Structure 1
Amino acid sequence: MNTSTLTPATHRASLAIGDERAARRVVDVLTEIFFEGEAAVAAFERPDGRWDVTVHFADAPDQTLVRRLVANAASEDAARTLAFDTIEAKDWVKASLEDLVPVPAGRFVVHGAHDRARVPQNKLGIEIEAALAFGTGHHGTTRGCLLLLDHVLKAHVPNRVLDLGTGTGVLAIAAAKALHRGILASDIDAPSVMVARENAHLNGVGDRVHAVRATGFAAPDFAANGPFDLVLANILANPLRQLAGPMSRHLARGAHVILSGLLNHQAPAVIAAYRARGLVPVLHLKIEGWSSLLLRAVE
């Protein structure tokens, strides 16, 4: 075993809160009390609308103090639900490789290097390293987008394709492999753009995926490469709603749009935003509490 990947045992405190504001108050208080290096605090919304708050401590925490801080920030009831445990030392890279089995999504299979040989001959393999947690295909949103992309490509051959918010580049790589043509991919995060380029080269489509750093549709690359016949955007609900107007102005007639990154209860508001811009819903996939939408621009 490579001991450089072995993480030491850590101590964890976790609780679920039904109110976003309370969850953020807890995060703010704990972040303020514990110095950097003493604790790492995170909060995530669950598919059921509740919030999970998790704190990882380098050393065993004073449980009474932590409960008191949570009670002050949220409520006594929230403090009583706090659970403390210890996470054993573990080689997380090795564990993630073992856990991330190949994920089929229509004609596509997302896999790690260790499973390269397990991709069927009649499928298009997309190789993504296990260390890149978001965008490996194991998240419901990525799989939903790939399934909808496969659905669209069975009946249409888009000429101009955009992967907006590309992340690890999975969707751009999938489109490039299936269509054998250039794909524009963008992300607001510079490291993500670099990762997408590296993954495109790893998958043999480095000359087809043009990854750029851009916010929204402001960069000149969008005007130069549009109007788009197909847009894939696996982002978040609020940015998707805000992008409805700018995106609609960069679409060709009859264009398809695949949207994801939204929880099931957020889908109606996103659909409404795009319907107001002339896009009608075609399919709605729900996977593990997450929604993926296929819409089409009115011709």
Structure 2
Amino acid sequence: MPQTRLHIITGREAASRIFAALETVFEEDGWPIAVLEVDEDRDIQEVSLYADGDVADIERRMAAVLADAGHAGPIGREVLPDVDWVAKSLEGLKPVEAGRFIVHGSHDRSEVRPGQIAIEIEAGLAFGTGHHGTTAGCLEMIEKVVTGEKPANALDLGTGSAVLAIAVAKLAPIPVLATDIDPVATEVAAANVRLNGVAQHVETATAEGFDDPVFATHGPFDLIVANILAQPLMQLAPEMAAHLAPAGSLILSGILDRQHEAVLDAYTAQDFRHVETFHREGWVTIHLKR
């Protein structure tokens, strides 16, 4: 079903206020809301709401929100073409190279050069196409650690699309556990694992935390990779220590440059030793050892 874009023109201050009001009213509907700066010098902003279904009713609700916010201008309406926007977005995603790895979509299989380790990942419901500094940094660190230390097993915690688990399995034929708290992500991860021909090495599982028995069954791990966010990574430091094998390695990412020291402090408090940090696009990937 094609979507309809309902949009207004206003100033920056009003746009922020209207965006917040629309977000509150339409939160349960799940309609995307966006603000676009049309002309900075003239302070022209465009606020859009993307909806389908009974557009007339949605427009009436939107008009009521605008009236409460003091906006009296007209609401524009644009019917968008019925396009698979996920597939469309892939057309503009070029392959990402990180060390020997190249992460690509199905439309760019021909771009893989001899000697490269190809990982085919489609942008979809789970995070991790390789087009983000955290994922690319992890791939570079994984190549260095796996080839240098030759771990016997590995865990990809918060696997998303499973790109990191696939990378480990393509470098070394070892058991890799790939877990996520989101069952949709786990399904996508399993599909990507099969697509990349490493299903015999990578097991995917939905697990909310380290209390899940799957970790005890497969661990302790010689290598744990976790590309999540700084705050949960800091909270997980004691459990990471408990599930890492002696002399094992930990690769952490999803961390902003300014969060680097705080994450290091959390892990050094658990007797981890900092080995190396990669910086990429304002993000860091950290290698630690017990």
Secondary structure of the corresponding residue to residue 155 of structure 2: strand
2:7 counterpart residue number: 11
Read off the aligned partner of 2:168 and give its amino acid letter.
Answer: A
Alignment of 1:88-237 (within 5 A): 89=80, 91=83, 92-132=85-125, 134-237=127-230
Call closer, same or farther: CA 1:62–1:263 in 2, change over 3 Å. farther
Read off the aligned partner of 1:65 and give its amino acid letter.
Answer: L
The RMSD of aligned alpha carbons is 3.4
Preserved contact between residue 123 and residue 129 of structure 2 (Cα < 8 Å): yes
Q: What is the CA–CA distance in structure 2 between the aligned matches of 1:31 and 1:253, rounded to whole Å?
A: 49
- Shift of residue 127 of structure 1? 0.6
Equivalences, count: 264
> What is the TM-score normalised by the length of structure 2?
0.78
Q: Deviations over 1:201-220 (max 9, x none)?
A: 11101121111111221122
Preserved contact between residue 95 and residue 108 of structure 2 (Cα < 8 Å): yes
Secondary structure of the corresponding residue to residue 241 of structure 1: helix
Farther-moved stretch of structure 1 (237-246 vs 212-221): 212-221
- Shift of residue 39 of structure 1? 4.4
1:20 counterpart residue number: none
2:23 counterpart residue number: 31
Q: What is the CA–CA distance in structure 2 between the aligned matches of 1:157 and 1:15, rounded to whole Å?
A: 57
Matched, 1:247 2:247: no
Identity %: 44
Read off the aligned partner of 1:288 and give its amino acid letter.
Answer: E
Preserved contact between residue 146 and residue 168 of structure 2 (Cα < 8 Å): no
Secondary structure of the corresponding residue to residue 184 of structure 1: strand
1:78 counterpart residue number: none
Read off the aligned partner of 1:287 and give its amino acid letter.
Answer: R
Q: What is the CA–CA distance in structure 1 between the aligned matches of 2:48 and 2:270, rounded to whole Å?
A: 42
Q: What is the CA–CA distance in structure 1 between the aligned matches of 2:114 and 2:4, rounded to whole Å?
A: 41
Read off the aligned partner of 2:184 and give its amino acid letter.
Answer: P
Gaps of 5+ in 1: 18-22, 44-53, 71-83
Please tell me whether Structure 1 or Structure 2 has the larger radius of gyration of its CA atoms: 2
- Shift of residue 266 of structure 1? 1.6
Secondary structure of the corresponding residue to residue 149 of structure 2: coil
